[in-house]
A and B are shown apart, each in its own frame.
Chain A
């Protein structure tokens, strides 16, 4: 077993939240991708459920230093969602219900690295853990895996999100221990 530097192993699943937990009913839920040209792509909950899903088992690394290994998820790969999206964007701002944002390079969402996840451990994703659906991008610190995901804005320029603008690292690679700006 190998952990990224500075991390410790935990068996439970701590709940971290920067605000009130949004309760988003699936009948009004939607996921919207806006390209750098302003083109919008929308999926309702039913449309998301109709897409082919995957069941990734991944390790989670939180910047507050806990790691949880071998977690089981179900969700739709971003490769599927972005398949028909015409873009040459280099960056993404992820938006959540409740107002949270986080930024990452567009390529980190591609090639089997990221999912819109709606089941955890065989059950519907609880609102505490970001349900009905969250971004799952496990190769970066967990603050990048935005809970209550609502959409992606694809951009040419990198902009800092909620934590990235308040001292946290722009990229957040746990294996390079990129916790804070300057790490």
Chain B
């Protein structure tokens, strides 16, 4: 059944906005979904960008993993849908 239409881009749309906040490339970070437990790279998230902010959803269960709102002098990053983010680091 055609329950949903989908107009989204992949998580590479988050590369620039997240680079503003973090000093590492976040698109290869691996997130775990609070809702379904699924794991995947940020680049694999479904990103809805035609909105007041960026909304990244789980490719498995469609729940919201990340909300990123950029105001003129603040950014808000809501990660309550993400249990953890595993971020590749340069070797110590």
Contacts and interface: CB of A to CB of B under 8 A. Distances in A.
A23 B69 contact: no
Interface stretch (A11-19, A41-49, A73-81, A106-114): A11-19
Interface string A158-171: 00001101111000
> Nearest 5 pairs between A and B by C-beta?
A167-B76, A20-B4, A167-B69, A166-B67, A180-B71
Interface size class of B (residues with CB under 8 A): 20 to 34
Contacts of A167: 53, 69, 71, 74-76
B52 A64 contact: yes
A105 interface: no
A144 to B, nearest CB: 11
B92 to A, nearest CB: 34
B53 A166 contact: yes
B4 A18 contact: no
A19 B74 contact: no
A20 B69 contact: no
Interface of B: 2-8, 48, 50-53, 55, 57, 62-64, 67-69, 71-72, 74-76, 78
Given A15-B50, A17-B51, A180 B74 contact: yes
29 contacts: A17-B7, A17-B48, A17-B51, A18-B48, A18-B52, A18-B64, A20-B8, A20-B62, A21-B4, A21-B5, A21-B7, A22-B3, A23-B3, A23-B4, A64-B52, A162-B67, A163-B52, A163-B53, A166-B53, A166-B67, A166-B76, A167-B71, A167-B74, A167-B75, A167-B76, A168-B52, A179-B71, A180-B71, A180-B74
